[in-house]
A and B are shown apart, each in its own frame.
Chain A
Amino acid sequence: EAQVTQNPRYLITVTGKKLTVTCSQNMNHEYMSWYRQDPGLGLRQIYYSMNVEVTDKGDVPEGYKVSRKEKRNFPLILESPSPNQTSLYFCASSRGPRYEQYFGPGTRLTVT
Chain B
Amino acid sequence: QKEVEQDPGPLSVPEGAIVSLNCTYSNSAFQYFMWYRQYSRKGPELLMYTYSSGNKEDGRFTAQVDKSSKYISLFIRDSQPSDSATYLCAFDYKLSFGAGTTVTVRA
Contact = CB atoms under 8 A, between A and B. Distances in A.
Given A97-B92, A98-B92, A41 B43 contact: no
B32 A42 contact: no
A7 to B, nearest CB: 14
Interface stretch (A13-21, A67-75, A78-86, A101-109): A101-109
Contacts, number: 50
Contacts of B36: 101
B99 A40 contact: yes
B6 interface: yes
A105 B99 contact: no
Contacts of A53: none
A43 B90 CA distance: 10
A44 B98 CA distance: 9
Q: Which range holds the interface residue count of chain B?
A: 20 to 34
A40 B97 CA distance: 12
A42 B6 contact: yes
A106 B95 CA distance: 18
B23 to A, nearest CB: 11
A100 B49 contact: yes
A45 B93 CA distance: 12
A43 B95 CA distance: 10
Interface string B87-107: 010101111111110000000
Contact of B42 (A40, A92, A106): A106
A42 B99 contact: yes
14 contacts: A33-B95, A35-B97, A40-B8, A42-B98, A42-B100, A43-B44, A43-B88, A45-B96, A48-B95, A97-B93, A97-B94, A100-B46, A101-B46, A106-B42
Interface of A: 4, 33, 35, 40-45, 48, 59, 90, 92, 97-98, 100-101, 103-106
